[in-house]
Amino acid sequence: MLKNFVKEKLRAGKPSIGTWVEMNNPDVSEQLSVLGFDWLVFDVEHGLFTMPDVQRMMQPMNHSLNCLPFVRVPINEPVYFKWALDMGAYGVVVPWVNSKEDATKAVRASKYPPEGIRGCGPRRASRYYSEISDYVKSANEEILVIVMIESQQALDNLDEILSVKGVDAAFIGPDDLSLNLGIFQEKQHSKFKTSLASVVDACKKHGIAPGMHCNDKNINDAISQGFQFCALNDDDTFLTMGAKACLQGVRGWVPGYSG
């Protein structure tokens, strides 16, 4: 039977920390899954994945019982939800949700009838149909549906979006949101700060977990502000940060060709 401890944490008002994966190599998901993250999001919107690639990335995570796979689908279309969930994702992150209709479409694509339109073919999710009955009974309750708030339109329609039954979390991508607000990466701008506060307040009103993509410098502040579903950096950033830190620690090393 499907059991989603991340959803339990969010319902209890606790933070849940994961990270974003964009590099298409199963060594990446295997290593990240044993470090203490609650979840990994495989980014099919911007990452270097096809949907079959995502399944190969999920499979090494079987070594860890404490890190769950989620998928950011490329667009809000049911076929991508079916692929992601049938291959074993415990939830979906849905980009560009700007209206109640968008949120309703995402929820219905994530759930079996009568609550939704998801077709029955949970190959890997049901251990290749050996546990299909238990999976189908529990999936609607356990699958996490996370809508992304990325535009002024989404902010304007927050109450309607979050009123949709089945939406579990509202997630802010700071770069996308600030870009669409015309203040790209101006995280101290009053308009940006007001937007963050409005999402947290609306989520509290509707009993939904707010989330945001964070870095190592602001994640504690985000949690203090009320954000729960928090992504800490991503695999590309971890690689860059680690390499830079190691290089900077080499005595006498000067970057660049010396002739």
Q: Does residue 181 fall inside a structural domain?
A: yes
Q: Looking at the domain assignment, is residue 226 inside a domain?
A: yes
Q: Which of 46, 63, 189, 213 is catalytic?
A: 46
Q: Which two tokens stand for residue 174?
A: 């700071």
46 catalytic per annotation: yes
CB 2 within 8 A of CB 139: yes
Whether 196 is in a domain gets the answer yes
Cis peptide before 78 (omega within 30 of 0): no
User: In this structure, is residue 21 part of a structural domain?
Assistant: yes
227-256 per-position pLDDT tens digit: 999 999 999 999 999 999 999 889 887 777
The pLDDT tens digits of the residues spanning 129-153 come to 999 999 999 999 999 999 999 999 9
> Does residue 18 lie in a domain region?
yes
Q: Tell me if 256 is assigned to some domain.
A: no
pLDDT digits (tens, 9 = 90+) for 159-214: 999 999 999 999 999 999 999 999 999 999 999 999 999 999 999 999 999 999 99
CB-facing half-sphere around the CA of 213: CA atoms within 13 A? 24
| Residue 259 in this model has a pLDDT that exceeds 60 | no
Domain of 133: which CATH number?
Answer: 3.20.20.60
Do the domain assignments include residue 258?
no
Count the domains in the chain. 1
pLDDT of residue 248: 87
More confident residue, 252 or 49: 49
Within-domain flag for 147? yes
**pTM exceeds cut of 0.75:** yes
20 contacts: CB under 8 Å, gap ≥ 6: 40, 41, 43, 72, 213, 231, 233, 234, 235
Q: Which domain holds residue 177?
A: 5-248
